[in-house]
Amino acid sequence: MDNYRQDAELFLGGISVISDDLISFVKQDLKVFGIGVAFFLVVTLSIIFRKIRWVLLPMLCCVFATISMMGLLGMFGWKVTVISSNFISLQLIITMAITIHLIVRYQDLLLNKPEADQRQLILETVRLMLTPCLYAAFTTIAGFSSLLLCDILPVRTFGWMMSAGIVVSLIVTFLFFPAGLMLLGKEAPQVIKTKRFSFTSFLGRFTEAHGRLILIGSCLILIMNVLGMTRLVVENSFINYFKDTTEIYRGLKVIDEKLGGTTPLDVIVEIDGPDTPIAVAADKTEEPGGEEFEKFDEFEEGNDEKYWFTADRMAQATKIHDYLDSLPEIGKVLSLATMLKMAAKLNNGQPLDNFQLALVYSELPQKFKRIILKPYVSPQHNQLRYSIRVKDSEKSLRRDALLKKIRHDLVNKLGLKEEKVHLAGMLVLYNNMLQSLFESQILTLGVVLLALLGMFLILFRSLKLALIALAPNLLAISVVLGVMGWLKIPLDMMTITIAAISIGIAVDNTIHYIYRFRHEFQSETGYIKTALQCHGSIGRAMYYTSLTIIIGFSILALSNFIPSIYFGLLTALAMFIALLAALTLLPQLIVTFKPFGPDKSVIRT
């Protein structure tokens, strides 16, 4: 095409181009997103910790975990698809989150026990962090495992990939981090400046002063977003997958609007015909005396397909063609009726009768029969095929409703039997995938919430504490799905995984906070003081990890693939809401319901 662009305005489109460009964009996103995430992780670590060891060690852990996971993918033969294309970035982010928690815990121990040697500090860090990290890993795996319930194979494979990746990250980090830190030696204790962590301190003071407002506001936000979730749709179009500056968008738009549509749909109908092949074509005529005799057509040839083409059948074929062509979502229709309309024009506008149809069929050369008849009619099976292209950019297009309407009208308005109407093609395949995505979203969301509740019950051994732990994660995912509903962002093959990913990663904050709160509560005087203490300790680690995750996913906004942009920005939004909920709603629920027993400060008073 490049050799002829000076001669004409050329466009490239179609299903094959969509498939090829999807793969190209995914490969490009893997490079851009992977490099971008790594760069921003280095910058973020440098700003937060301001020491080369706390940049080098976490990045090495991320590199080793990612390489190990890529090796497992090759061993198990798991192919990277559009859905699983972000696994490298997720691997980097999950590994980084674990290492940041280890760094912050090590720094706290170093500040509180400056006399301890390096080995003792590292052992204490690993001992204190292994349990909450294991808890967080199990619940994250539970989140990703919900994808295994989906009917779409690439989604299930993505669930397996990320579950295995979390295990790899956990093992590699807890082996490599302490070993590397031991080799680096003990650093001088660093006094933490309060002003550097004003965000978590502000949230702690805000929670203390406005606890009731937080509870009421969270309930209102949840209700509003549940209403938004009822507006979720799965309708999407291929053309909307790409930015309007890309060549594929321009090509698809021209083909869709001016050249008959993009997405193929085949409608195959079985019309009434003889139960056995026609042996002779004869009309029975009754004499006045009651005797019957057979009047044979002079063109009769035994067992010949030409007698299948009768005027009544051709009229029915044309009627079906005209109905399909009248639908606004349908661009171009090709069928046997296309040839019949051309023949009628040559016949002074009159449809061909039985004799003319048989004559035309007999005289038509075989090579033309293969071109204009064979793709659209099968006399042996009494079948007609209508090759349709649907306008993918039509704003009124609702694939599922369109397919149901076609099937309903062919049966109830045109008199065909339901079992003799068959719909096939790319439109049906794509619609089935979209409907499966919608059902899977509801199923996976329900299953992941039940799984997390079960995991919390096992981990904390308290129903009250399990429900408290579930609340901030439920709020985070409701905000994301609610925003999608209110903004009419459709569910597709990328955004379907947001619920599982968001809950799977966000739940780490909840577990780390509750685990630290329970530990600190044993030595502090009450719930409020313990919450403020946790905001200054584990709250810092939660803030750092969430910040790196938000920045990392936001890089997907640079993609040319629209679902990847939505995926990155919505996941970043989920992480931000999860952080706010974990540092406001979660401590307020703990203070309100007191799952660890009576308030010690009240008892002492």
- The encoded tokens of residue 32 equal 């851009």
- The encoded tokens of residue 107 equal 């720094």
Residue ranges in the chain whose pLDDT is less than 70: 189-198, 273-304, 441, 524-525, 600-605
Q: What is the pLDDT of residue 177?
A: 93
Q: What is the pLDDT of residue 11?
A: 80
Q: What is the pLDDT of residue 374?
A: 87
DSSP 487-513: TTPPP-TTGGGHHHHHHHHHHHHHHHH
How long a stretch of residues is the chain?
605
Was domain 21-187+196-230+430-604 assigned CATH 3.30.1360.10?
no
Q: What is the pLDDT of residue 218?
A: 92
pTM: 0.76
Residues 6+ apart with CB under 8 A from 397: 235, 237, 329, 390, 391
Domain positions in the chain are: 21-187+196-230+430-604, 263-276+307-390+398-424
356-365 CB burial, b ≥16 within 10 A, e <16: ebbebbeeee
Instruction: Annotate 379-440 with three-state secondary structure.
Output: HHHCEEEEEEEECCCCCCCCHHHHHHHHHHHHHHCCCCCHHHEEEECHHHHHHHHHHHHHHH
Q: Which residues pair with 266 in a beta bridge?
A: 387, 424
Q: What is the pLDDT of residue 524?
A: 60
- The encoded tokens of residue 428 equal 């049906």
pLDDT tens across 185-234, in order? Answer: 887 766 555 444 468 888 888 988 998 999 999 999 999 999 998 888 77
- Contact present, 262 and 13 (Cβ < 8 Å): yes
- Contact present, 143 and 501 (Cβ < 8 Å): yes
